[in-house]
Structure 1
Amino acid sequence: MGLTGKLSAQIEYKSSGDVFHKVFRYMPHEISNMSPNIIQGCDLHEGELGSVGSIIIWKYTHDGKEKVTKEIVEVIDEEKKLVTLKLIEGDLSELYKIFRATFHVETNGDIDSVTWTLEYEKHNEDVEDPLSILGLLINLTRDIENHHLKAR
C-alpha cells in the first residue's frame, strides 16, 4: 500500500448543479444552514469569496467529533463548474501531508451530477484512506440538495 491515493464519488443531483457550484464558490458560509449536522461554520480568513487564493476555515463534525480545517481555494474553473480546496492547516493535517478536495458539476441531458475527488498523501502507512471524509462529502451534498429541493 502506498502513502498517496485518490478517491472519488459521483452523486446524481436532483436540484440544480449550477446552484450547488455557486453555493460552494460564493456562499460557503450558508452551508451550515443547509447541513447543520455536518458544518457548524465557515469563515473567510483571507481573500475574497469565490476567488482563487482565498483562505476558508471550516468547522465541521466528523465521526462524532468537532473538527476544524483551513483550506485555500486552489483552482476554480467556471466552465467545468469545478473548485479545488487544498488543506493548509487543521485536524486533517495530523493524518495527511497533502489533502485536496475537488468537486465538479456535470450536466448530461436533464441530469446533473456532483463528483467529489480526494487526493491525498498520508503521513504513514497506519493512516487510513479518507473513505469516511468522502462519505461526509456525499452526505453534505445530499443535505444541500435536499435544502434546495424543499425551497422549490
Structure 2
Amino acid sequence: MAEKHLQKMVRQVEIKSDGDVFHEILKSRPHHLSDMSPTVVQNVELLEGEFGTVGSIVMFNYNQDGKEKVVKHEILAIDEEKKSVSYKAIEGDLRELYKTFIITIHVDTDGENNLVTWTFDYEKLKEDVEDPNSVMDLLVAMTKDIENHHLK
C-alpha cells in the first residue's frame, strides 16, 4: 500500500457457526445483515456493480453508539482461498474522521473452530481523532449476531 501513515487495528473473534457461510455473507450477501444484526445494520444497498465482485460500491446504514451512520464502501479485493474481503470507505461518516479507512475481514476455518479476523488500516485526518475502537466493537457485535443467527 502506498499510504505510509496507515495505522493498523486487529481484532479476532471465535465463532462456532460455519466460517464458509460467514465469508459468503460478508462477500456476496451483505444485504442480509440487517436481518441477522438489526441493532447494528439497518440497511445495505448495492449502488454499483454486483454483490461479491471487486469494484462494486455498497452503502451501509448502521448504528454506532446510538447514532445513525452511513458509509459507502468499494470492494477492493476478494481472496476465496484465504476467505478474505477488503472494503475501502469512499464516502460517509468514516471519511469525516479518516483520510483512508480500509476494512479487511478474514475467516480461518478449522473444523468447528472458526476465527474471524477484522483488520482496519486507517489514516486519521487530524491527530485528535480517536482510534476506531467503537467501529471495531460494532463489527465484533455484528459478528456475534451473525453467529447467533446461524446457530438458531
**TM-score scaled by structure 1?**
0.95
Measured in 2, the distance between the counterparts of 1:107 and 1:14 equals 10
Inter-partner Cα distance in structure 1 for 2:101 and 2:53: 19
1:17 counterpart = 2:19: yes
Number of the residue aligned with 2:99: 97
Deviation readout 1:37-94 (Å, 9 max, x if unpaired): 0000000000011100000000000011000000000000000000000000001100
Residue of structure 2 equivalent to 1:8? 10
Within 2, Cα distance between the matches of 1:46 and 1:114? 27
| Structure 2 equivalent of residue 57 of structure 1 | 59
Gaps of 5+ in 2: none
Structure 1: gaps (5+ residues): none
Contact 2:74/2:88, CA 8 A, preserved across alignment: yes
Q: Partners in 2 of 1:108 and 1:140 — Cα distance?
A: 21
State whether structure 2 residue 120 is matched by structure 1 residue 123. no
After the TM superposition, which parts of structure 1 deviate over 4 Å for at least 4 consecutive aligned residues? none
Equivalent in the alignment of 1:46: 48
The TM-score with structure 2 as length reference comes to 0.95
**C-alpha RMSD of matched pairs (Å):** 0.9
Please give the residue correspondences for 1:28-39 in structure 2 after superposition, counting only pairs within 5 Å. 28-39=30-41
Q: 1:114 aligns with which of 110, 113, 116?
A: 116
Paired residue type of 1:139: A
Matched, 1:132 2:134: yes
- AA matched with 2:106: H
Report if aligned partners of 2:18, 2:112 keep a CA contact under 8 Å in 1: no
% identity of equivalent residues:
55
